[in-house]
């Protein structure tokens, strides 16, 4: 039953993934369609809540215009600084909320009621935005037994090329559903005329809890990491602490569980950091999306060299100088092929640059190589006891049983 559900879910998700959506017989970029849909829904929701609370629609229109201007300005500044277009949710959320607060302060209108509506509008936009991420492949998850496949059309648009054809956990869909639930609850808070600021504090605390956890499942290499945690995780903790301070200072409605949740996330972060520090394998560093990219790039680099070969015939080796690539964790990788008249075996040599490699580390790196290169066939990891490991891959059609018995 579980297998059947997994297969059906995978099939459904694969049908959903597309880089373009056809509207009126014309293809449109899926991400843009989701973005415009989210903006439209956010505006409708904002107007409905504003009218229900008896607030000014003109002020809301000013906030919408200011939010769009802030969004575009941040996107432009980011592109100027980084040299490429990057839409980072937290940057825009913080920027829009700061500008909205300044605007409301200048015109001397109540701040919290409008900030409640603004944050729920931002959440609505994010709900659709994450659907767009799922469809085009940005902010994607890590390899998993069920999830989505991305294709060449996605790689052409910037998707992580070495994950083409690799099933990835649909973390974007999970975050989208999470955000939708939070927005719905926040709307009921506003409709129930709870104290101004309730929906704002609710959304920030609960979204940040989810976002902190979701980041562990991210697999895209673009996001920055600091001390083993992503920028999104650090931002989540900082925003939760900011809300906690606001509640303790009387600026926001006080809720003990908000304080408890914030302390809990800080404790989890501390526990994870401590556990990583005392684990000798450093597996989290090896699995860091940026390091996985380094491994994929290293193999591509050395594989493209015409001298990357090692031919072994009847136990005798004749080889040219084999190029070696080194990752930021000082892991050295070289590749070649072992051949005789009837056998072809892909060969990867793994070692540390300045110390002996453990078997656990070697197996982790070997699994990553098989994963990013989409290698199939029988595999073996062997060592000669000198801290150097050899990953041997034999294609399925090469007589696996005979090979296994001769090595």
Burial classification of residue 160, based on how many CB atoms lie within 10 Å of its CB (0-12 exposed, 13-18 middle, 19 or more buried): buried
| pLDDT of residue 267 exceeding 50 | yes
At 65-81, the pLDDT tens digits run 999 999 999 888 888 87
Instruction: Output the average pLDDT for the chain.
Output: 83
d(CA 343, CA 367): 23
- The HSE-up count of residue 286 (CA atoms within 13 Å, CB side) is 19
Q: What is the mean pLDDT of residues 37-50?
A: 95
pLDDT for residue 207 is more than 70: yes
Work out the average pLDDT over 127-133.
91
In the chain, domain spans: 2-278, 289-406
* Higher-pLDDT residue of 406, 296: 296
Q: What are the angstrom distances between the C-alpha of 72 and each of 44, 77, 99, 103, 115? A: 20, 9, 13, 17, 20
- Interval 277-294: pLDDT, tens: 877 667 888 888 888 888
Confidence check: pLDDT of 341 > 60: no
Q: In this predicted structure, what is the pLDDT of residue 185?
A: 97
Q: What is the pLDDT of residue 230?
A: 92
Is the pLDDT score of 264 beyond 90? yes
Weakest-pLDDT range from 11-20, 40-49, 118-127, 254-263: 11-20
User: Cα–Cα distance between 14 and 149 in angstroms, integer?
Assistant: 6
138 versus 2: which is more confidently predicted?
138
151-155, 327-331, 349-353, range with the lowest pLDDT: 151-155
Between 405 and 28, the higher pLDDT residue: 28
Percent of the chain with pLDDT strictly greater than 90: 41
The whole-number pLDDT of residue 397 equals: 54
Q: Out of 3.30.720, 2.60.40, 3.90.320, 3.40.1720, which CATH number does the structure's domain 289-406 have?
A: 3.40.1720
**CA–CA distance, 258 with 202 (Å, rounded to integer):** 8
What is the C-alpha to C-alpha distance for residues 129 and 19, in angstroms, rounded to an integer? 14
Give residue for tokens 């629609």.
57
pLDDT digit string, tens, across residues 315-326:
444 445 567 888
Question: Rounded to two decimals, what is the model's pTM?
Answer: 0.85
Q: How confident is the model at residue 148 (pLDDT cuts 50, 70, 90)?
A: confident
Kind of pairing between the strands at 20-23 and 26-29: antiparallel
Give 351 or 341, the one with higher predicted confidence. Answer: 351
């Amino acid at each position: 039953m579980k297998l059947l559900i997994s297969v059906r879910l995978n099939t459904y998700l694969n049908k959903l993934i597309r880089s373009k959506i056809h509207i009126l017989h014309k293809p449109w970029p899926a991400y843009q369609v989701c973005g415009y849909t989210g903006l439209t829904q956010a505006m409708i929701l904002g107007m409905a809540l504003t009218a229900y609370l008896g607030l000014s629609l003109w002020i809301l229109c000013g906030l919408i215009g200011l939010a769009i201007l802030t969004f575009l300005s941040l996107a432009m500044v980011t592109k100027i600084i980084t040299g490429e277009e990057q839409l980072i949710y937290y940057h825009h959320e913080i920027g829009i909320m700061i500008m909205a607060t300044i605007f409301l302060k200048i015109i001397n209108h109540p701040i919290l009621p409008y900030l409640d509506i603004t944050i729920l509008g931002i959440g609505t936009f994010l709900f659709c935005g994450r659907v767009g991420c799922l469809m085009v492949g940005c902010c994607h998850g890590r390899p998993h037994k069920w999830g989505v496949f991305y294709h060449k059309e996605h790689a052409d648009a910037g998707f992580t090329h070495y994950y083409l054809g690799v099933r990835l956990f649909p973390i974007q869909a999970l975050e989208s559903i999470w955000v939708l639930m939070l927005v719905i609850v926040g709307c009921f808070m506003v409709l129930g005329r709870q104290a101004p600021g309730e929906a704002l504090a609710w959304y920030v605390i609960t979204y940040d809890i989810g976002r902190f956890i979701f980041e562990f499942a991210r697999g895209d290499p673009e996001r920055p990491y600091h001390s083993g945690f992503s920028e999104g995780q650090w931002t989540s903790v900082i925003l939760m602490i900011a809300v906690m301070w606001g509640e303790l200072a009387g600026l926001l409605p006080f809720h003990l569980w908000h304080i408890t949740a914030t302390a809990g996330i800080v404790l989890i972060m501390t526990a994870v950091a401590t556990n990583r520090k005392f684990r000798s394998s450093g597996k989290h560093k090896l699995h860091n999306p940026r390091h996985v990219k380094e491994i994929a790039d290293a193999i591509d680099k050395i594989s493209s060299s015409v001298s990357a070969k090692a031919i072994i015939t009847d136990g005798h080796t004749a080889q040219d100088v084999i190029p070696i690539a080194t990752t930021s964790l000082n892991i050295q990788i070289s590749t070649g092929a072992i051949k005789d008249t009837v056998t072809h075996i892909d060969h990867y040599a793994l070692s540390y640059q300045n110390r002996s490699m453990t078997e656990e580390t070697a197996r982790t790196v070997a699994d990553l190589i098989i994963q990013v290169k989409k290698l199939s066939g029988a595999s073996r990891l062997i060592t000669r006891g000198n801290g150097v490991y050899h990953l041997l891959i034999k294609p399925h059609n090469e007589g696996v049983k005979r090979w296994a018995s001769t090595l």
